[in-house]
Amino acid sequence: MEARLLSAILGVVMVQVQTAMQYLDMEKIAGFWREVGVASNQNLALKTPKRMEALFLTLSGDELTVKAAYNSSGSCETENIVGSEVDVSGRFVFPGHREIHVIDTDYERYAILRLSLHWQGKDFHVLKYFTRSLEDEDEPGFWRFRELTAETGLYLAARHGRCAKLLKEELI
């Protein structure tokens, strides 16, 4: 029941945002992003021992390569996955029934992504708030993120973790 309600709420939010954001400039979205906030009503998405700290996005044609930095019980791990853009600008599908949809961004300071995963017969959806900075969190995008997640609950996961810093330094 909760999953259906969240899907319905996120569906309404997606329709509202898609009308405002018709075109995603893929070159501008590329680069480093640090995870600052997470919103979901599903505990699996919020209480995982492998916590994402940052992403580095690279584009080649309609393919998006995501290099993700995780803190896994105090150790830094990275994962590279390649996805393809599908029918909607800013929506990418990845192996393992995973999907990323760029909901909103100003390209320079913040991005709000909807991550979806089909696992063990269930659909999981998480809204994530990212910034370009290792320090700043209270950007204009934060208020947009709060607005989008008012019905699901807001879970800030600000991490000044070393994994995000290592990823950014590695790629500079």
CA distance 135 to 169: 14
CA distance 113 to 13: 12
CA distance 146 to 39: 9
**Confidence band of 138 (pLDDT split at 50, 70, 90):** low
Domains by residue range for the chain, with CATH: 2-171 (2.40.128.20)
Would you say residue 164 has pLDDT above 90? no
pLDDT tens digits, 108-119: 999 999 989 887
Give the pLDDT mean for 21-31: 83
Q: Kindly tell me the sign of the dihedral angle through the C-alpha atoms of 91, 105, 125, 64.
A: positive
Residue 172: CB atoms within 10 A of its CB come to 6
**Confidence band of 43 (pLDDT split at 50, 70, 90):** low
Instruction: Give CB contacts under 8 A, 24+ apart, made by 80-85.
Output: 85/26
Would you say residue 153 has pLDDT above 70? no
Total-model pTM: 0.78
Whole-number Cα distances in Å, 120 to 5, 20, 38, 48, 65: 19, 34, 22, 16, 25
Whole-number Cα distances in Å, 15 to 123, 156, 160: 19, 24, 33
Residue 55's φ and ψ, nearest 5 degrees, are: -130, 150
Residue keyed to tokens 């991490």: 159
Give the pLDDT mean for 54-65: 89
Burial 77-106 (b: 16+ CB within 10 A, else e): eeeeeebebeeeebbbbbeeebbbbbbbbe
**Confidence band of 17 (pLDDT split at 50, 70, 90):** very low
CA distance 123 to 3: 8
